[in-house]
Amino acid sequence: MSYDFTSVKVLVVESSPPLFQLIRGVLMLFGVPENNVDSAFTIEEGFDKFAKTNHDMVIVDWMDTPDRGIQLVRRMRTDDKSPNPFVPILMTAGSGHSRRVLKSRDAGVSDYLVKPFSAQALARRIERIIEKPRPFVYDTKEDGSIGYVGPDRRVKQLPFDGEDRRKDVAPKTSGKTKPGEEDQVDLVQKDGTA
């Protein structure tokens, strides 16, 4: 992978300081400057830093107390204070059990990585996020409440019989772009493997 990461800002929300150090080291090997990798050790701190900085990518730990990382992902995707609900989000967790992978996918993560992982595995996930983006889905339920927000959960292109309920609608954002600019909706890849 050959990319220029010198201006990329990454937020790592990880409950373990040693694992944060490892992830930061790997990101620095990719060319992300050390001062562009922010740490957060709770979901509250993570959302506060995200809302203030508008990172280009977020790496979130599952955080078993219970499912706190999932709560953070949902908040980043749906909260009015979120500067970028389309940000690529990589979930890390100590289990690759299908229940966890599906729950993460349904919360709106872009990809999922099982701990312990190698620098090469992290690089592959980041490359997939960049190289194979999927369309972004912003679903509003019939009662007007927010439904699913995140990358299209469909990985395989299978024939579909039935009414296509998807509409070409511009998603709602926090509106924090500069005048004359449009919000970007480039999002990420999550394949069927964990």
Residue 186 forms part of a structural domain: no
| Predicted pLDDT at 113 | 92
Q: Please check whether residue 160 lies inside any domain of the structure.
A: no
DSSP string covering the chain: -----TT--EEEE-S-HHHHHHHHHHHHHTT--GGGEEEESSHHHHHHHHHHH--SEEEEE--TTTTHHHHHHHHHHH-TT-S-TT--EEEEES---HHHHHHHHHHT-SEEEESS--HHHHHHHHHHHHHS---EEEEE-TTS-EEEEEE-S--S-----S-------PPP----SPTT-----------S--
| 145-154 tens-digit pLDDT | 887 888 876 6
Q: Is residue 158 part of a domain?
A: no
pLDDT tens track for 119-166: 899 989 998 888 888 777 877 788 888 878 888 766 666 677 777 665
| Residue 190 maps to a domain | no
* pLDDT tens digits, one per residue of 2-24: 788 999 999 999 988 999 999 99
pLDDT (average), residues 60-80: 89
Model's pTM, two decimal places? Answer: 0.77
Whole domain around residue 64: which residue ranges? 10-131
137 within a domain of the structure (yes/no): no
What's 92's domain CATH number?
Answer: 3.40.50.2300
Task: Give the number of domains in the chain.
Answer: 1
Residue 99 forms part of a structural domain: yes
